[in-house]
Amino acid sequence: MQPQPSESVSSLLMPTKPATKKTIAAKTKAIKPVQKNTAPKKAAPDKGDGLRVLKQVLHLSPSQKKPASDKVEHLVRDYLAKLREVDLTFENGAAVVEKYRSKYPELSNHVRRIVPEERRIEITQNLGDDGDLRLHLFVIRILDDDALYEVTLPGKEEHKTVKSSEWLSLLHDTLARLIARIIYARETSKA
């Protein structure tokens, strides 16, 4: 193409239509806002709304409240449970003594008394005249609203108050030591 007299050189270099400016945004992908799965948030409760919020959480309304339990009845159940635990603990202890007394008849020489009315088990360690000096006492006392599990060990004048599980454990330990001596005496007498 040859330039015509009315056209200038600059017009040849430039297109006749004004060029549309390409924007950067046209080249990039359109970013859509991410849709969030948001549940409607509850407004933070005021300090005075604590009871209302608690009822909402517990799904309670004033008409759904349980009637208040009778405090006396609740205490009665607690005390009965303690008394039943005392009886069960003593029965378990006495049953263990009787079981091993029948298995090892020599143990009868060491068991002085089992007194259910007093919840008392007396066991001597030795068979001599000073049997009282080597006496194990296992007693459960009920005082007002509490049960005391007492153990008096040989040579001690004062009793030791323990938990029910320890009371049984100490009784088992005493019986085990006596039974071990009985078995040992049987074995040495045969030799």
| Distance set, CA 76 to CA 11, 26, 66, 70, 126 (Å) | 111, 83, 20, 10, 44
Highest mean pLDDT among 72-86, 121-135, 168-182: 168-182
d(C-alpha 39, C-alpha 32), whole Å: 21
Q: Who contacts 155 (Cβ-Cβ below 8 Å, separation ≥6)?
A: 133, 134
Mean pLDDT of all residues in 140-148: 87
Q: Give the three-class secondary structure for 122.
A: strand
**Token couple for 82:** 């303690």
pLDDT exceeds cutoff 60 at 83: yes
pLDDT exceeds cutoff 70 at 52: no
pLDDT exceeds cutoff 80 at 168: yes
Mean pLDDT of all residues in 43-58: 58
111 vs 131, residue with greater confidence: 111
**Token couple for 67:** 């009637």
pLDDT exceeds cutoff 70 at 179: yes
Q: How many CA atoms, within 13 angstroms, populate the side-chain half-sphere of residue 114?
A: 16
